[in-house]
Structure 1
Amino acid sequence: MITSKICAARQVLLRGASMAVLFAASTAAAQTMPPAQEEAAEPIQGEIVVTAQRRSENLQSVPISIQAIGSDALADRGIHSPQDLAQFTPNVSITAPAGAGSQPSVTIRGIGLNDFNTNNSGPNGIYNDEFYISSPIAQGSGFFDLERIEVLKGPQGTLYGRNTSGGAVNLISAKPTDSFTARAHAEYGSYDTVNVEGALGGPIGSTLSGRIAAVYNYSDGYTKNFFRDRNENGTNNYAIRAQLLWTPTDDLSILLKEQFTRSKTRAAMYKFYGTLDPLTGARCSVADVYAMQCVDLFGYGGRPGFYEGDYNRNEKSTLTDSQTTLRIDYRLGSIDLVSLTGYDNAKRFQAEDTDSSAVRSLEIDYTTRSEEFTQELRAGQTESNYNWVAGAYFLSEVLTQDQPLSLLLDLDDLLGPGGADGVANIQSTLNRQKTKSFALFGQGEVEVADGLRLIAGARYTWDKKRFASTSFDNFQMGGKDNFGPPTNVSTVDNSLSEEKFNWRLGANYRFSPDLMAYVNFSTGYKGGGFNGGFLSSDPGLRELQLQAFKPETVTAYEAGFKSSLFDRAVTFNLAAFYNDYRNQQVQVLVPSPIPGEPSFFALDNAKKSRVYGIDADLTIRPTSELTLMGQLGLLNSRLKEFVSGRDPTQPDYSGNKLAQAPSTSLTLSADWRKPLGDNELTLHWDSNYRSTMFFDPSNNPYTAQPSYWLHNARISFSLKDGRYELGAFARNLTKKKYLVWNADLSDPFGVLTAIVGTPRIFGVDFNYKY
């Protein structure tokens, strides 16, 4: 087993290294040739500067796999949420099991946490201006007035904070400047979709500047609810961000940022698919399920339209999130000192029609509150032949959950008055979790020979977590909607303490100013925790659910190159990777032995899993007016050894693919900009492909999403050197119907509940810049 693993890793990395060497030889000759197009002789696009390694660098100089999307590209592609971002980042999937714009579930290179419970953070850190957002309910905030988004692929266990065993997403907001700036964006589209965004910034005094930005999103929704005669799955949220930058001296700057988000929607109306044969009650075939030929436990068959349903519950979802950060930068000689303090307070309530039907078979209320404080102190130095950074990090978080789950409340309608006594039930779960984490970290890079640089880094983490939970049942007694006193009362108070050392070793060699090859070896870690979901009434199963799950660890290998040819007319980057995971945290669906009780989701540890693949991106600028881009992600993922310990039947998932890990993801785009005096005409097109993927580790064919393409387009005309711009756009141009999340609730409800992808949207927009 060890030999085969080493051989597989060696093959992946040798292929990547071989490509780098061969490419170096060919490009050395290629760059002596004259450019094919006269227009490409001059640099066409400016450098993209990122801060992925805690210092400002040209994207092409960073020896890791990273994708950066700037503000113009965000606008052209209509990226307003985490789910929008996933379309344009191969080997990245982002779903929203709680509904659009809330609690994003991020998967990078096959590593994610498809868990809708709010007390567990995923293995891919989400950062807002380097502030780590721990609570899942707050991770969807901040997608407005951005300078860029950086997606770091692969474990980031050295420089970044907690839980980055898969990667990281960093949102970089536009900052205050010493000159006056203003921008406005407004768009209107199908389903009364409205997005209005604006920002204003500039000097307030000789040493003080500020910036304020706001956004408002609204949509009627694209799902028709025939039960209540209205549209569902809409949006209604706003956010505001204010920043003050004080620079009393050339060596000192203090940046204070306050951000507030408010959302009030009727999101997460799932698409209903019955799974039972209406005549025999047997489980239907996959084809019959999606042809809407089947029914649920109550005989309801759903609506035939993809964007239709009968939702009896007056569902609502509200979120408030307040975030404050204080960043202090001080230059002491040649040393850069940074203090970053962050605070986030979020609250979400969601009343959910979980069964997605006109009867009350399964309804859930979620109330979650989280409060997070972080402090990072670091020092660093950047010289021509070396650089280093070292620091300390602290996190404290308190999270509470109140989750009543209502089961089979309309069962009397099927069995007769009183027939549901002792079966219909309201299960309540009250959780409180406290987390503390402390880490010391450092990383250095030194040039040991002309063009050759070596990197070494380390991080030592201490984690403590305490989880208290109380759960009980209230069974129906005396007829419909009459419930008895609490029974099956269970109270637990568990804690865990962990510590882990992670490291990174790397090397990069610059063959020329425009070609660099690199290799990295690193480890990553994600702390263990507790299941914050619903508990079974069965004592044995409940005991399994309440056991802590283990920390997740990874050893990662990566080799790649980055190249810019013909004065940046062509850019080609490639990375090959192999990641070996131990105790990967995986969500499983556990059937209950109690009749009428639903299956339960729980987090478990897959003893061994691995992923390997390739990330590649190519940009060609044949003229100063035309830019062609292609980004490819190839992924092979496997659960190598996984017998679920949460399920008494111990199903064996070994050999299955990881959830939300399509083997192929591809993005193609073209941008044509035609100057017309002081004006400009712009055409944009992008096509995005995802191969078949599963939503759970069982690789359940009933919840698989087949491969699909999405196509988007935009045309715009700008006036007066880009100050004013009018545009029109189309998203999902070919009206592709696809699912972004799916859960099998066949036992006992006879239903699949899925979140559908956004339908085709046409719209117009206006932009102003000063």
Structure 2
Amino acid sequence: MLRTKRLTRAVTLAILLSTAAFAPSAFAQTASDEAGLEDIYVVAQRRSENLQDVPVAASTIDDERLSALVSGGGDVLQLAGRVPGLNVESSNGRVAPRFYIRGLGNTDFDLAASQPVSVIIDDVVQENVALKSFPIFDVEQVEVLRGPQGSLFGRNTPAGIVNFRSVRPSDEFDARLNASYGSFGTSVLDGAVGGGIAPGISGRVALSYRHRDDWVDNTFDGSELGGYDDFAGRAQVLFEPTPEFSALLNLHGRTYEGTSTLFRANVLTTGSNELNGNFDRDSVSYNGGGGNNQAYDQLGGSATLSYDFGGLTLTSITGYETLDGNSRGDIDGGVSGVGPGFIPFDSDTTDSIDDLTQFTQELRIASEAGAFNWQAGIFYFDSELTVSTVGAGFPPLTTLEHTNTSWAVFGQVGYEVNDRLTLSAGLRYTEDEKDMVGILTSIPVAPVNVSDEHLSWDLSAVYEVNPDLNLYGRVATGFRAPTIQGRDVAFFNPPSVANSETILSYEAGVKADLLDNRARLNAAVFYYTIEDQQFSAIGGLGNFNQLVNAAEGEAYGFEIEGEWAATDNLFLTSSFSYNHTEINDSDLVVGPCGSGQCTVRDPGDGLGNVFIDGNPFPQAPEFTFDVTAEYEHPLASGASLFVGTDWTVRGSFNIFLYDAVEYETDTQFEGGLRAGYRSADGRYEAAVFGRNITDEENVIGGIDFNNNTAFVNEPRVIGVSLSARY
């Protein structure tokens, strides 16, 4: 009952704030104020363009909100629900996050898994799931491009792109420091300094440190878990010897040690998806996992060279990444014969990336923006990945080597038909090849090779109704190459393969600036179908992680987001997305939970499997809702006091491909709060904050192996923060 009341209060507050943000009566009261919204620029079409002019459903999260989200030690998972249709989750602690856009993603927890959402950091694609977890610091903004982006970006982008843009060096001196301290000894320290080094040379160095004490008691052996130390850095040097040429060099690295995900045995009771009395956020009972330790190291670099020939610009982007690390976990979440609940046998698993190297090269030539513009390029991708798995009670070690080589050519043209109508078209040809060989296996494993080629395209139009209102439409395709899943070799099963998936998407939207640029409202409707959709059938008694293809996936929905400078001192934002997803394959079956303790609602095939035709995609919330508000009260000195809040709500979703009472979540929400003092010049800020301020205990994932195991969101963190900018 208390949980229901909290949800009701949070949703009511969010709806009231959202409604207030667009109330006509309020519009009339504030339309004459002088302050307005700043223009937002994105690179959705590989050029810097006003968000309102781009024929793509795109959203941004700026540096101020990012700082607030990570103030309690948060990582990329904090982006979930912050823009329409975006979900992020992980069963691998602070590494290997899984991204979903408009319901389309991949629940595969293998360290060699591919995803249909591409993550790009400073113009370089981060293909491996562990590379996608690089900490967020000194980032100018995050751009989320929804829908297929298969023409200009192309590398596994059927669902869309999450693009991180770091603050670039400039010749103006800039220094900033953000520090916070809160519950469980949670510490965040981010700093950056940059400026001119010599004529035509500027640089920037940024460092980040996140720490949390061990705070979860292991009641079985008296140890403590839950802590981490996460250190990362980035150094950039920008050479601009002439007005025509620039070279941006980027070196970045990370070292992380902490606790992997804490799985909790039998915290779901058969017939219910509510956390039961076995759940205690502050304690677990483990006899395995070796402390659930996790450690990763990453080092990478990139070089972006650009030369302006006068009307044509040639750009070269070279990237290189290396990474290694491992995670170990008490997978059953308890102790066999002890509990909590019935656990038939113990399970302890270690997965590691022994060695990862990734090389990317892109060459692109582009005309100047104008009535007719174009760009064309080539892209090359090569990676080598060695993955090992150790499972207690099984052979001690299984090691597999994955290689992936891909190349593509692409182009786009844009044409202003008249003062109001602009058309654009893009095309990309891709060839992709993957290989897997067994280095050390307990069963004979023949080398596996898969490859495919595909032509992706998109067409779009933007029509300017008036200078403050644009309508757009877009048709786009996308492609994800065949995938190899080899983790099951460690459990005496052959590797599995999924064929290529292709997507066809339709989208239409409106982008409007309102009230003399004091408000902004963007909305879109979409529909897409996927042929041979790749899924991962996870869990069951065999603890499988097998790839399957569904004949078709289908989704439709709408998104709306807005922001409003209600007064010079009050700023509001809100967004809402509705997303219906459905698997269409009357013959596709998967194994249900292995414990026999879950309540499956799908029909069976008489052989222990269940049909999943008609089920939603896993980890695809039916809706997401986000609202923020900040009020600033000026003081006579010129300084100000401020208070801000943000709330995110995610609708129910299935954790697995099959439909079970226990593994369908309820609607979930989290809220944040900040209040503090800001100096007159805006350089200094001191605040108290809370993340997950109502301490919601939300189930975000599960393991259906030998009991009803689940894992939950981050706990409430209350603390203080300080920031300074020069």
Matches within 5 A, 1:330-369: 330-359=307-336, 361-368=346-353, 369=355
Pick aligned residue for 1:133 from 126, 130, 138: 126
Matches within 5 A, 1:209-224: 209-224=202-217
Cα distance in 2 between the residues matched to 1:213 and 1:126: 21
Pick aligned residue for 2:376 from 387, 390, 407: 390
Task: Give the secondary structure class of the aligned counterpart of 2:60.
Answer: strand
Matched, 1:95 2:89: yes
Cα distance in 2 between the residues matched to 1:686 and 1:694: 25
Cα distance in 2 between the residues matched to 1:231 and 1:48: 45
1:562 aligned partner: 511
2:66 aligned partner: 74
Give how far 1:679 is off: 1.3
Give how far 1:119 is off: 1.2
Q: 2:225 touches 2:291 (CA, 8 Å); kept in 1?
A: no
1:326 aligned partner: 303
Matches within 5 A, 1:108-507: 108-273=101-266, 285-287=270-272, 290-292=275-277, 303-312=278-287, 313-359=290-336, 361-368=346-353, 369-407=355-393, 425-426=394-395, 428-469=397-438, 472-473=441-442, 489-507=443-461
Cα distance in 2 between the residues matched to 1:696 and 1:471: 30
Cα distance in 2 between the residues matched to 1:685 and 1:536: 47
Cα distance in 1 between the residues matched to 2:548 and 2:571: 46
Pick aligned residue for 1:765 from 698, 702, 721: 721
Cα distance in 2 between the residues matched to 1:383 and 1:398: 38
2:3 aligned partner: none
Q: 2:106 touches 2:115 (CA, 8 Å); kept in 1?
A: yes
Give how far 1:493 is off: 0.3
Tell me the TM-score normalized by structure 2: 0.89
Cα distance in 1 between the residues matched to 2:482 and 2:80: 27
Cα distance in 1 between the residues matched to 2:404 and 2:528: 28
Cα distance in 2 between the residues matched to 1:38 and 1:94: 37
Cα distance in 1 between the residues matched to 2:215 and 2:417: 59
Give how far 1:233 is off: 2.4
Give how far 1:455 is off: 1.0
Cα distance in 1 between the residues matched to 2:333 and 2:540: 20
Cα distance in 1 between the residues matched to 2:475 and 2:608: 38
Give how far 1:245 is off: 0.4
Cα distance in 1 between the residues matched to 2:234 and 2:334: 39
Q: 1:245 touches 1:254 (CA, 8 Å); kept in 2?
A: yes
2:580 aligned partner: 636
Please tell me the residue identity of whatever aligns with 1:491: V
Give how far 1:50 is off: 1.4
Q: 1:270 touches 1:356 (CA, 8 Å); kept in 2?
A: yes
For the structure 1 residues 622 and 427, does the alpha-carbon distance in structure 2 shift closer, same or farther, using more than 3 Å as the test?
same
Give how far 1:536 is off: 7.4
Task: Give the secondary structure class of the aligned counterpart of 1:404.
Answer: strand
Identity %: 29
Task: Give the secondary structure class of the aligned counterpart of 1:257.
Answer: strand
Give how far 1:568 is off: 1.5
Task: Give the secondary structure class of the aligned counterpart of 1:64.
Answer: coil
Give how far 1:452 is off: 0.4
For the structure 1 residues 257 and 720, does the alpha-carbon distance in structure 2 shift closer, same or farther, using more than 3 Å as the test?
same
Give how far 1:327 is off: 0.2
Q: Which runs of 5+ in 1 are unaligned?
A: 1-26, 276-283, 293-302, 408-424, 474-488, 593-597
Task: Give the secondary structure class of the aligned counterpart of 2:240.
Answer: strand
Give how far 1:38 is off: 5.2
2:487 aligned partner: 533
Cα distance in 2 between the residues matched to 1:129 and 1:84: 20
Q: Which moved more, 1:123-132 or 1:304-313?
A: 304-313
Give how far 1:514 is off: 1.0
Give how far 1:723 is off: 1.0
Matches within 5 A, 1:738-753: 738-745=698-705, 749=706, 751-753=707-709
Q: 1:271 touches 1:308 (CA, 8 Å); kept in 2?
A: no
Give how far 1:40 is off: 4.5
Q: 1:702 touches 1:744 (CA, 8 Å); kept in 2?
A: no
Q: 2:273 touches 2:662 (CA, 8 Å); kept in 1?
A: no
1:412 aligned partner: none
Q: 2:451 touches 2:481 (CA, 8 Å); kept in 1?
A: no
Matched, 1:58 2:50: yes
Matched, 1:603 2:547: yes
Matched, 1:613 2:613: no
Give how far 1:344 is off: 0.4
Cα distance in 2 between the residues matched to 1:626 and 1:261: 38
Q: 2:590 touches 2:610 (CA, 8 Å); kept in 1?
A: no
Matched, 1:585 2:534: yes
Q: 1:504 touches 1:522 (CA, 8 Å); kept in 2?
A: yes
Give how far 1:562 is off: 0.3
For the structure 1 residues 742 and 591, does the alpha-carbon distance in structure 2 shift closer, same or farther, using more than 3 Å as the test?
closer
| RMSD over equivalenced CA pairs, Å | 2.2
2:472 aligned partner: 518
Please tell me the residue identity of whatever aligns with 2:433: K
Cα distance in 2 between the residues matched to 1:167 and 1:223: 37
Q: Residues 141-160 of structure 1: CA distance to partner in whole angstroms, max 9, x if unpaired?
A: 14111000001111110111
Matched, 1:689 2:649: yes
Pick aligned residue for 1:728 from 685, 688, 700: 688
Give how far 1:456 is off: 0.7
Give how far 1:549 is off: 1.0
1:572 aligned partner: 521
Cα distance in 2 between the residues matched to 1:161 and 1:680: 46
Q: 1:142 touches 1:171 (CA, 8 Å); kept in 2?
A: no
Give how far 1:613 is off: 0.5
Aligned length: 676
Cα distance in 2 between the residues matched to 1:48 and 1:77: 20
1:413 aligned partner: none
Q: Residues 636-687 of structure 1: CA distance to partner in whole angstroms, max 9, x if unpaired?
A: 0000115347768663210001111111110011111223243122211111
Please tell me the residue identity of whatever aligns with 1:722: G
Cα distance in 2 between the residues matched to 1:357 and 1:706: 25
For the structure 1 residues 577 and 472, does the alpha-carbon distance in structure 2 shift closer, same or farther, using more than 3 Å as the test?
same
Cα distance in 1 between the residues matched to 2:349 and 2:718: 34
Please tell me the residue identity of whatever aligns with 1:195: V
Cα distance in 1 between the residues matched to 2:224 and 2:626: 32
Give how far 1:348 is off: 1.3
Cα distance in 2 between the residues matched to 1:426 and 1:531: 19
Matched, 1:717 2:677: yes
Give how far 1:619 is off: 1.5
Please tell me the residue identity of whatever aligns with 1:84: Q
2:594 aligned partner: none
1:655 aligned partner: 614
Give how far 1:688 is off: 1.1
Cα distance in 2 between the residues matched to 1:288 and 1:612: 27
For the structure 1 residues 60 and 222, does the alpha-carbon distance in structure 2 shift closer, same or farther, using more than 3 Å as the test?
farther
Give how far 1:132 is off: 0.2
Give how far 1:289 is off: 8.1
1:625 aligned partner: 569
Cα distance in 2 between the residues matched to 1:561 and 1:721: 37
Q: Which runs of 5+ in 2 are unaligned?
A: 1-21, 337-344, 592-606
Matches within 5 A, 1:21-40: 36-37=28-29, 40=32
Q: Residues 23-50 of structure 1: CA distance to partner in whole angstroms, max 9, x if unpaired?
A: xxxx9xx99x996235744242221111
Give how far 1:583 is off: 1.1
Cα distance in 1 between the residues matched to 2:403 and 2:316: 24
Q: 1:703 touches 1:743 (CA, 8 Å); kept in 2?
A: no
For the structure 1 residues 53 and 288, does the alpha-carbon distance in structure 2 shift closer, same or farther, using more than 3 Å as the test?
closer
Please tell me the residue identity of whatever aligns with 1:181: D
Cα distance in 2 between the residues matched to 1:184 and 1:347: 30
Task: Give the secondary structure class of the aligned counterpart of 1:272.
Answer: coil
